[in-house]
Structure 1
């Protein structure tokens, strides 16, 4: 089976535009086999042939592999710590900030950041860059429409100030939408923009093998200005951050 997955991984580079070799093997293979079981195929070769004929099935697998788990102000206590560092460290030093929310999923994270910066009247040099590999989830992010169940960490004040309620749910206001620029981007394969003051990438690197994860940490470091901040997820502690040039300044917050 391992040889079959080697072939599948090579196929994925061309047909899914994904570097699956960078993902943790057992977890990845379990997810692929789970999706394959939904279709009348006997092996990975049959599954690949089926996806080459059916773009919808191929899209379903890619969407499933690009795990989209997020929420507004995820881990609120960590967002409070970020708020403090942005206010006390970044804004006084740089004034206007260039920010990137990497692997932004449905947009709740960059919109959370936009709300936080708006609260503090902190300006950005450009719109917040928000990127993800999944086109489908980016479409939802650009729409900015969320169900009540997706807003559990949103305060009443934020709900009243930054959302408009309609029959379908809560729509992010145009003012907040204008502060965010969404873009399709593959962290493993695409180049990074640079000169960021703040980069947020949370609960993503846990799915990658150590060498791919370390490669990403170095690329994030290189994309920051000196003194810039990198904010990771609550399951992602960077061991020996100094090997990449970072110093830890708070829980899951690292500075270049």
Structure 2
């Protein structure tokens, strides 16, 4: 007999440590059924057994559910606006910056920040923190090896300066890698660090239910210093940011009041 979705969510929480109940239900269930069928499992009960005993099936499930889609300088126009805010506002005001890239996936976003910091000579208080719930994905991020398609927004000059091509893949320069610290972190369950001057978390909260999303925005707000910036994704908008303590200063950039 098959388990229902509620039982599957509880099994995932108990065995994988991931809280799925906060995700938008219909969207999540479509994704679960899709990846389950691709694995060859006929029922959710069969699928839990496969996840438990087959590392590749487990990895594919985590990768698919945690939405690991990213690229360097994603949405270039928005990223340039964030860059301008860092250079013109945060850096002069605070000097050395503490930056967090949340839900960083394979590392393209925090490494984009590290390249930006290097090019614009922004001083860091400590290494850029990059976190994700998916441990295998963090391993890929630490390796710093990317396909050309993931670098489509990187200029030819920056490719030459910050990457080496080996066997048709791009290896990130060590001086950029050393400025990023990767850690496993669950946005819904893990405690947050504090005193950040900038937090970037893009195209993640769209998958959460309203209550979970709004609570997450409050936690990001609390993790920032007054005047700090929060950068969301191109599909995300904070409704009534003033109620949380944010001021909208650009389309997808909010400042803690």
| TM-score bin, normalised by smaller chain | over 0.9
Residues 59, 136 of structure 2: 8 Å contact kept: no
RMSD: 1.7
State the distance in 2 between where 1:127 and 1:235 align. Answer: 28
Partner residue in 2 for 1:102: 102
Distance 1:42 1:147, change over 3 A: closer
Deviates more, 1:159-168 or 1:27-36: 159-168
Partner of 1:253: 253
Contact 1:16/1:58 (<8 A) preserved: no
The equivalent of 1:243 in structure 2 is 243
Instruction: Say if 2:7 is the partner of 1:7.
Output: yes
Contact 1:162 1:173 in 2 (8 A): yes
| Cα deviation, residue 136, structure 1 | 1.8
Instruction: Give the SS at the match of 2:21.
Output: helix
Residue 199 of structure 2 is aligned to residue 199 of structure 1: yes
- Displacement of 1:49 in angstroms is 3.2
Matched, 1:111 2:111: yes
Q: Post-superposition shift, 1:41?
A: 4.1
Structure 1 residue ranges (4+ consecutive) displaced by more than 4 angstroms after TM superposition: none
8 Å contact 2:201–2:231 — kept in the other structure? yes
- Give the equivalent residue in structure 1 for 2:165: 165
Provide the rounded CA distance (Å) in 2 between the counterparts of 1:53 and 1:143. 26
Asked if 1:60 corresponds to 2:60, the answer is yes
- 1:89 maps to 89
Residue 132 of structure 2 corresponds to which residue in structure 1? 132
Partner of 2:152: 152
Q: TM-score, normalised by structure 2?
A: 0.95
Please list every run of 5 or more consecutive structure 1 residues that lacks an aligned counterpart in the other structure: none
Report the alpha carbon displacement of residue 51 of structure 1 after superposing the two structures with TM. 2.8
CA distance in 1, matches of 2:6, 2:151: 41
Tell me whether 1:22 sits opposite 2:33 in the alignment.
no
Distance 1:194 1:98 in 2: 9
Task: Please report the TM-score for the alignment, with normalisation by the length of structure 1.
Answer: 0.95
What is the total number of aligned residue pairs between the two structures? 256
Offset, 1:40: 5.0
* Secondary structure in structure 2 of the residue aligned to 1:38: helix
